[in-house]
Amino acid sequence: MSDSQGPLWEVFVQKKAGQPFVHCGNLHAFDKEMALQNARDLYTRRGEGMSLWVVPSSAIVASSPEDMGSFFEPSNDKIFRHPTFYQIPDGVGHM
Amino acid sequence: MEINFEELFESKLAKNDFIEPKDWMPENYRKHLIRQISQHAHSEIVGMLPEGNWITRAPSLRSKLVLLAKVQDEGGHGLYLYTAAESLGISRDEMLDALLTGKAKYSSIFNYPTLSWADVGAVGWLVDGAAIMNQVMLQRSSYGPYSRAMVRICKEESFHQRQGYEIMTHLAFGTAAQKDMAQDALNRWWYPTLMMFGPPDVESPNSENALKWRIKRETNDQLRQRFVNQTVVQAEYLGLTIPDEKLKWNESKKGYDYSDPDWIEFKSVIKGNGICNKERLMARNKAHKEGEWVRAAAAAYGKKQQESQVAA
């Protein structure tokens, strides 16, 4: 709850063109325009970014910390997904 | 397989891992954080008042612009911290209510008045300096959202301290009357600033848990000592005298010996008997009441937007 504050939004900032959007915090706002304006005022007062995303917190689906182990386990035994798994013969140059 | 959540929590602390909002945490850890983070947020918001007092009377356009930007930052810091506290399950309305009814505490320092322009300098130099010392430590706090808020805040605070020191520099190297003003501000702000680090370790009720849970990484006295060590040389450069006759370099501890602030006064200010406690609470209540129509309008607008979306 927080009736007088409006719903919660998550804020993502892109520092420079071409870079990924990084989560930087959250804020309350009553609609998307207000969320975007508040995000600008709150998170980019010092040129921290050149592009912003605001996303309703309720729209975010997150993995649960409790089943962190089992959820990510399938990746542990697939070492062949890493380039270091393979041997490259001498003399073929950089690969 | 049954997971032992408490063990998992302890092992994360032991590995210096962060605790995140959805992680299991002991109820007292949650309570401790809600208290500490909301008080921290309240301090940022109430902290806007003593400085705001000088915005209309700043001696130049430049200093007015700088002070406005600084006070706006403090408001932003309050917002970062409120959302960090909300991630622990308390609402903004509950926290604001606790502040406005006087149930919640905020830093005792903001119950002292800013009597002259030099006080704005002293607040930036000393009060923000002390706050940074505390907040740099809190960047490594075990609760993820608190730690991340601190990283952002610390980035912004160093401008605050430097602008304060700049004001002190102008006054200290100005006319004799200006230098007196700077000295007077230092005299009045020195001990209240030392109080900001909290009671001495031997009588600090909350320190033990805070250290055990790595919410804090250093004790009140350690931080206070570091602040004194760092500040003495800055006062010397200004040609100002720290109002402490016992202040003396102690080679064996590689730090200064210094006098304790008046802890009876500290307790009395926290209980509500400081010079400005009533004024600060009245100002916050007035602002909240006068902003009522803005909140109501925003909520009505939000509701209308939602309805038109459903209809579309």
Domain boundaries, chain A: 8-81
For A65, the closest of B20, B92, B302 (CB atoms) is B20
Q: What is the pLDDT of residue B53?
A: 93
| ipTM exceeding cut-off 0.95 for this assembly | no
pLDDT in tens, A38-86: 999 999 999 889 999 999 999 999 887 667 777 888 777 888 888 888 9
From CA B188, how far away is CA B192, in angstroms rounded? 8
From CA B222, how far away is CA B229, in angstroms rounded? 11
pLDDT band at A2 (very low <50, low <70, confident <90, very high): very low
Query: Topology of domain A8-81, per CATH?
Result: Ubiquitin-like (UB roll) (3.10.20)
From CA B229, how far away is CA B248, in angstroms rounded? 10
- CB contacts under 8 A, B 286-305 vs A, are 295, 298-299, 301-302, 305
For A30, the closest of B73, B91, B302 (CB atoms) is B302
For B299, the closest of A1, A30, A62 (CB atoms) is A30
Kindly give the interhelix angle for B277-290 and B292-311, rounded to the nearest 10 degrees. Answer: 40
Residue B297 CB burial class (10 angstroms; 0-12, 13-18, ≥19): exposed
Contacts of A71 in chain B (CB under 8 A): none
pLDDT in tens, B148-163: 999 999 988 889 999 9
pLDDT in tens, B251-304: 999 999 999 999 999 999 999 999 999 999 999 999 999 999 999 999 999 888
Q: What is the pLDDT of residue B1?
A: 58
In chain A, which residue's Cα lies nearest the Cα of B18?
Answer: A65
In chain B, which residue's Cα lies nearest the Cα of A65?
Answer: B23
Contacts of A5 in chain B (CB under 8 A): 91-93
The nearest CA of chain A is from the CA of B214 a distance in Å of 20
- Given an 8 Å threshold on Cβ–Cβ distance, is A4 in contact with B92? yes
Bridge partners for A8 per DSSP: A28
**Length of chain A measured in residues:** 95
Q: Which of B139, B162, B146, B149 has its CA nearest to residue B70?
A: B162
Instruction: Give Cα A44 to chain centroid, integer Å.
Output: 17
Q: What is the pLDDT of residue B200?
A: 95
Q: How many CB pairs under 8 A join A and B?
A: 58
Q: What is the pLDDT of residue A1?
A: 40
